[in-house]
Amino acid sequence: MHEKDWPLYPPSFLGILGGGQLGRFFVQAAQDLGYGVCVLDPDPNSPAGQIAQIHLQADYADQEALKTMARRCRAISTEFENVPAKTIDFLIEQGVFVAPDSYAVSIAQNRIKEKQFFQNLLSQTGVGPVLYHVIEEQAHLTNVPQEIFPAILKTSQLGYDGKGQQTVYHLTELLSAWIMLGKVPCVLEKKVDLDFELSALIVRSADDEVHLMPIAQNIHQHGILHLSMVPAPNMSLSIQDQIQRAAQVIIRELHYVGVMCIEFFILKDGTMCVNEIAPRPHNSGHHSLDSCLTSQFEQQVRVLAKLPLGNSKLMSPVVMLNLLGDLWLHGENNDAITAPNWQNVLAMASAKLHLYGKAAPKIGRKMGHINFLDESVEQALKSAHQAMEILGFPTIKE
Ligand code: ADP
Ligand code: MG
């Protein structure tokens, strides 16, 4: 492909591997700019497949489908980190511009590689991972440092929303936890005393333009993101500076092109740690759909088309509240499904509701979110709590 062939202008097609809600927002952002979109996802009714011009309903390893996609789209991105590296490489061989590439994705897909990557960069970023120990085989269960407990055992691959994790309070519980997780390669990491959590969305273009989006402060419940607040209420200027520096080092050292999210822990003793990266737009950046001049998804489109990055400055304080399937389910066995009563929430002046078009609500499944835009993040948080009451969220201490 010659440089003169770029940027790619509408009405060309862009491709996205994966048809979940992140893919759906990518489709919307691309279509807003006049592009067509081709989605590859095996699910016949995926959130992104429903609205894309073309939905290839096939497996990610289906070479015929990938060839069709490559003929149609000169640029393709991914919306979830578990796309096989082979798929990405195959598309690149077909002459497609794929961002991010398989190197970056393969590190983010594997907690062991990811932690080692953070550890190796410590002198440049000033931020390391929490104390961890790699367990790839049974022999590695014996030489675990005592100070790591209480700890969390996490599968090296395929974990998300707190899945593939077991808390281990003592060495004696480690073997059974590892068996529970299927004896697969894992990292055991210290369960740290969190003060609060932050995430940084950062974008890098193919010609090394880097743009950091506003940093979010996140609250998780049962390992699933519950809400994000921007500007981050507890973030000092020095933490912000440190994150900005670390994020730029990380994205460049990964040779990453595209939108990525980096999660940070701030511990009670003031220490900062880097937790993980997501090689794609992220749930904690969904506020940007309504709060930023350029959303994380429009940035993803711009990177793919090799257009200049947008300005993602924050236009309004915002709180993003996730809506899980639990809200739809009632009865003793959660077998009665009724849609939440949106009426009173939509009557709130600050609420912007986004639903993902998923047919079946399930416990813990992300069905949608609401962005609350108010004059302060404190006020937006009050609005979010008001909405939680209206929608009948279970009361959980935060
Ligand atoms: P996932 O891939 O599921 O997002 P994470 O490693 O980010 O996995 O864990 C999900 C959440 O669990 C984190 O955002 C944090 O709230 C909590 N958590 C994860 N690791 C630790 C840890 N080492 N100490 C304390 N809390 C943790
Ligand atoms: Mg996480």
* Ligand 2 centroid to residue 215 C-alpha, Å: 15
Domains and CATH numbers, the chain: 3-98 (3.40.50.20), 131-190 (3.30.1490.20), 194-391 (3.30.470.20)
Residue 270, classified by CB atoms within 10 Å of its CB into exposed (0-12), middle (13-18) or buried (19+), is exposed
The string of pLDDT tens digits covering residues 96-121 is: 999 999 999 999 999 999 999 999 99
Nearest residue to 204 (alpha-carbon basis) of 213, 214, 192, 195 = 213
Residues 6+ apart with CB under 8 A from 127: 118, 242, 243, 246, 264, 272, 273, 274
Is the minimum distance from the CB of 84 to ligand 1 under 6 angstroms? no
| Ligand 1 pocket: which of 193, 268, 275 to mutate (most atoms within 8 A of CB) | 275
In the predicted structure, residue 397 carries a pLDDT above the cut 60: no
The string of pLDDT tens digits covering residues 119-146 is: 999 999 999 999 999 999 999 998 899 9
* Ligand 1 centroid to residue 162 C-alpha, Å: 7
Which H or E element spans position 81?
none
Is the minimum distance from the CB of 31 to ligand 1 under 6 angstroms? no
Ligand 1 atom nearest 151 alpha carbon? 23
Residue nearest to atom 11 of ligand 1 (CA): 223
* Ligand 2 centroid to residue 159 C-alpha, Å: 9
Cross-strand partners of 329: 337
CA angle (315 as vertex; 312, 321 as ends), nearest 5: 90
| Ligand 1 pocket: which of 265, 272, 273, 366 to mutate (most atoms within 8 A of CB) | 265
Averaged pLDDT, 70-75: 98
Mean pLDDT of all residues in the chain? 95
Which H or E element spans position 18?
none
Which H or E element spans position 217?
strand 216-221
Is the minimum distance from the CB of 276 to ligand 1 under 6 angstroms? yes
Averaged pLDDT, 206-226: 97
* Ligand 1 centroid to residue 273 C-alpha, Å: 12
Percent of the chain surpassing pLDDT 90: 92
Averaged pLDDT, 322-332: 94
Is the minimum distance from the CB of 266 to ligand 1 under 6 angstroms? no
In the predicted structure, residue 3 carries a pLDDT above the cut 80: no
Ligand nearest to the CA of 198: 1
Is the minimum distance from the CB of 388 to ligand 1 under 6 angstroms? no
Percent of the chain surpassing pLDDT 70: 98
Ligand 1 atom nearest 163 alpha carbon? 3
The string of pLDDT tens digits covering residues 47-65 is: 999 999 999 999 999 999 9
Global pTM reads 0.95
pLDDT at 395: 67
* Ligand 2 centroid to residue 285 C-alpha, Å: 13
Residue whose structure tokens are 């940070």? 264
Averaged pLDDT, 342-347: 96
Is the minimum distance from the CB of 362 to ligand 1 under 6 angstroms? no
* Ligand 2 centroid to residue 156 C-alpha, Å: 13
Place 398 in a pLDDT band, splitting at 50, 70 and 90: very low
Is the minimum distance from the CB of 129 to ligand 1 under 6 angstroms? no
* Ligand 2 centroid to residue 224 C-alpha, Å: 8
Averaged pLDDT, 315-322: 98
pLDDT at 1: 55
